[in-house]
Amino acid sequence: MSSQGLAKEHYEMGLKKTPFYSRQKELDIMNEWHRWSGYTVPNVLNDVTFEYFAIRNSASVFDITPMAKYRIKGPDALDFMNRLLTRDMTKLRVGRVGYSVWCDDEGMVIDDGTVFRTSENEYLLCAQERQLETLKRNALGFDISFDDVSDDIAALSFQGPLTCTILKKVGFEGIDQLKMFDLKEFAFAGTTVMISRTGYTGDLGYELWINPENAGDLWDALFEAGKNYNVKAIGGDALEIARIEAGLLMAGKDFSPATSTVRPGHAKSPYELGLDWLVKLDKGVVFNGRRALIQERNKGPRYRFVRLDVEGNKTACSAYIFDRQGGKTIGHVSSAAWAPTAKKNVALGFVDMPYGEVGSTVWVEIYYQKELRWNRRWAKAVVMDGPFYNPERKTLTPPEAV
């Protein structure tokens, strides 16, 4: 059959450009881009080091338009969210944002994301990957409507210690009163922009959500207000360092979504991801995976999520974890980086239970290339209690005046 007139497969379609693409392209000198949910987005625009330090020392702008976004509304919106997610959604007030996960029937995590309660019966669910089929399956019997608004909302992650100062200069009066995980709508250029005090860097920061047709004006306003504050556009490589330094998980990197794992046992539960605080078994309603999670709570998880302080300066990318040098393999590293602000060689990973208690020592086998030759070294690693980097300014309200 001729393919003429048939819908193109995703791999035959050209990459889409976000409303911020032209602004980013003007600043790009590296020409290193990748695909994210059908959009082309930068790995780095100028220099990874400069972009990283913009996150920690001034202000950084990262395009998060490709995120999956779903608007869920109706009389049963709360009941639906409580059925879908593991946390107790009755505790999420209007004007607040919550982080959560959702699971399959075996209690394995499908994805994680943020939930914005924009009104009494309306939510915005944001995730890294598309979740339309999951929503369709769970919507049966609920009086709700849901729409994929991924392409209808342009979004920026604005992170760093000077972000509040710059936003005030743009004219967002009262932005300094937003607490962590608050959200509020502000007037801007004849429309509105929703601003949430959220982010993926473990630092002071905000996310800005706006109509695509007004996206360029918002970008220009941030850079004009921040021209004396060294505001920089950044790519995904700098963000990757910051999120590892903050000890934050990434789907597809630290865990395989349950809907895409091929081999049994390769998906992970919230308990195995160190997210047991998100599982509310006693919230009074049945939610996806609850029965399996009750069994796991009683029996104990298979793995433990660990944050490792690795000796030396050779990053432990894709390393195996051992109970001692040359000993038993007990786990693996999923993400690793040199953390410039924490000044640590850090790694995220998973070990078999009962290994990996806080304060314990494990070993990692590191391979690194130098002048086209592969080298191997053993390094001790200490299991840390909490993030490697967790500044007070992240939660301070109002943020410190600059």
Confirm if 200 and 243 have CB atoms less than 8 A apart: yes
State in Å, rounded, how far the first CA of the chain is from the last one: 65
Rg (CA), the chain: 22
Residue 308 amino acid letter: L
How many other CB atoms are there within 10 angstroms of residue 205's CB atom?
26
Read off the tokens for 386. Answer: 């909490």
Q: Please state, in angstroms and rounded to a whole number, the distance separating the CA atoms of residues 172 and 121.
A: 26
357 among the known binding-site residues? no
Read off the tokens for 112. Answer: 């994680």
Confirm if 159 and 55 have CB atoms less than 8 A apart: yes
Question: What's the maximum distance between 2 C-alpha atoms anywhere in the chain?
Answer: 66
Pairing mode of beta strands 68-73, 329-339: unpaired
**CA angle centred on 99, ends 93 and 101, rounded to 5°:** 120
Cis omega (within 30 of 0) for bond into 354: yes
Any bridge partners for residue 115, and if so which? 98, 125
Positions at the binding site: 207
Positions at the binding site for substrate: 207
